[in-house]
Amino acid sequence: MVKSTAYRGPADELIGLSSCVTTLRGQILRLSEYDINVLLDGESGTGKELVARIIHQCSPRRNGPFVGVNCAAIHESLLESELFGHKAGAFTGAKEATVGFLRAASGGTILLDEVGDMSESLQSKLLRVLEERSVVPVGGTAPEAIDVRVIAATNKDLAQAVQQGTFRRDLYYRLNVVRLHIEPLRQRRDDIPGLVEHMVQRVAHALSVSAKSVSSAAMAALTAHDWPGNVRELGNVIQRAYVLGNGPVIEPEDLPDDLFAHMTERSHSPLPSLDEAVRRHVALALGASGGVRTQAAEMLGIGRKSLWRLMRQYDLR
Ligand SMILES: Nc1ncnc2c1ncn2[C@@H]1O[C@H](COP(=O)(O)OP(=O)(O)OP(=O)(O)O)[C@@H](O)[C@H]1O
Ligand SMILES: [Mg+2]
């Protein structure tokens, strides 16, 4: 196979300067060229599918198909034939034969999303497919060879599922040749300003309108938010600001109330508590410095040790 080290472009679409994303970018470039299975884990909306697509784009398989299958969204009874294909007449309603996602991804990459939700019987079948590199379509007897790279993604703790006996240990080791963990956004806040800028451009492009800018007060609120829905939630908030907000600048009033909920929860004052203001101010400096701590400390007029203490106190990483 042709090596692909020179191909770096799409990795640039993975926005972020935090150590998590920087490490991830390096790992993607190193592992893409090898046909090894990869397990991606991270909370919902952290970018698992994006990373899987970039791995595919950086790999020698990039001219082949990329097929994503959400194992949680397809009913268990259908998932087997969706993955392995079926012969005509294999079951009621199966008028024509299908190739299934695994063969449809031949020459390319398959992303098995939410793999932790697969039933036990399907886990065994998938294990056999990965070991033998062939599938037996539902209703068929002869194995058909497959040539795919498998990337699995999960927002569950699969190691824990193995401990609890709900996920097969042998399948776990088979999928987990390399594990890439994507941290939740609240643990890499220095990525937020860059992601906000990216989403501002992306939404403007999608809506065919000119790009807005973001006021520093709005950016402070965006940087301080905990983002339970991670980057997806951030994208939705920016989209909402375009659709509901007026004017060329995104201001705090264009952002949803829950970004300010912690302020009102604690007091009915229109001002944030001093504690909250300090937290946001530190988050803002970290964001504005792109995570360079010496620079953030300088902006705040404090030493690096004091900054480190504040970061620990407010869980800002
Ligand atoms: N680092 C990043 N840079 C640019 N865009 C990102 C980044 N991380 C996530 N996104 C964007 O955020 C959205 C959600 O990402 P994605 O669908 O890959 O998340 P996911 O982890 O697969 O979520 P789920 O577990 O809910 O399926 C996408 O629009 C993706 O392009
Ligand atoms: Mg996904």
Strands 149-154 and 38-41: parallel
The answer to the question of residue 29 being in a domain is: yes
56 and 106 share a domain? yes
Ligand 1 binding site (Cβ under 6 Å of any ligand atom) = 14-16, 21, 42, 44-50, 113, 155, 195, 198, 231-232, 235
Residue 220: how many CB atoms within 10 A of its CB?
21
The domain boundary, picked from 183, 205, 223, lies at 183
Assigned domain for 1 exists: no
Q: CA–CA separation, 118 vs 134, rounded Å?
A: 19
For residue 191, which atom of ligand 1 is closest to its CA? 1
Q: Is the pTM of this model over 0.95?
A: no
Residue 3 in any domain: the answer is: no
CA–CA separation, 63 and 84 (whole Å)? 22
Whole-number Å distance between alpha carbons of 18 and 309? 19
pLDDT attached to residue 195: 96
> Considering only CA atoms, which residue is closest to atom 26 of ligand 1?
44
Atom nearest to 70 CA in ligand 1: 27
The residue from 156, 183, 210 where one domain ends is 183
> Ligand 2: distance of its center to the CA of 239 in Å?
19
- What per-residue confidence (pLDDT) applies to 289? 79
Determine the atom of ligand 1 nearest the C-alpha atom of 16: 1
**Quick one: 278 and 260 in the same domain?**
yes
21/67 same-domain check: yes
Q: What is the CATH number of the domain that holds 199?
A: 1.10.8.60
**How many independent structural domains does the chain possess?**
2
CA of 232 to the centre of ligand 2 (A): 10
Structural domain including 195 reads: 186-313
In a domain, 198, yes or no: yes
**Nearest ligand to the CA atom of 40:** 1
SS3 call for 68: strand
- From first to last of its 317 residues, the chain has per-residue pLDDT tens of 223 333 344 444 899 988 899 999 999 999 999 999 999 999 999 999 999 999 999 999 999 999 999 998 888 878 889 999 988 887 877 788 888 999 999 999 999 999 999 999 899 999 999 999 999 988 888 899 999 999 999 999 999 999 999 999 999 999 999 999 999 999 999 899 999 999 999 999 999 999 999 998 899 889 989 999 999 999 999 999 999 998 999 999 999 998 887 654 544 455 667 887 888 788 888 877 777 889 999 999 999 999 999 988 887 76
Residues 157 and 211 in one domain: no
Tell the residue nearest (CA) to atom 25 of ligand 1.
Answer: 44
List the Cα angle 8/11/16 in 5-degree steps. Answer: 135
2 in any annotated domain: no
Residues 74 and 161 in one domain: yes
| One domain, residues 158 and 83 | yes
pLDDT of 266: 46
Evaluate whether residue 138 is within a structural domain: yes
Q: Are residues 151 and 279 in the same domain?
A: no
Is 177 inside any structural domain? Answer: yes
Q: Report the 3 state secondary structure along 120-167.
A: HHHHHHHHHHHHHCEECCECCCCCEECCCEEEEEECCCHHHHHHCCCC
Asked if residue 245 and residue 176 are part of one domain, the reply reads: no
Asked if residue 198 and residue 165 are part of one domain, the reply reads no
State the CATH number of the domain containing residue 121.
Answer: 3.40.50.300
Same domain, yes or no: 176 and 216:
no
Alpha carbon of 91 to ligand 1 centroid (Å) = 37
- Together in a domain, 235 and 165: no
Residues 96 and 202 grouped into a single domain = no
Give bridge partners of residue 151 from the DSSP assignment: 38, 111
Q: Is residue 4 part of a domain?
A: no
**Residue that is last in its domain, among 133, 168, 183:** 183
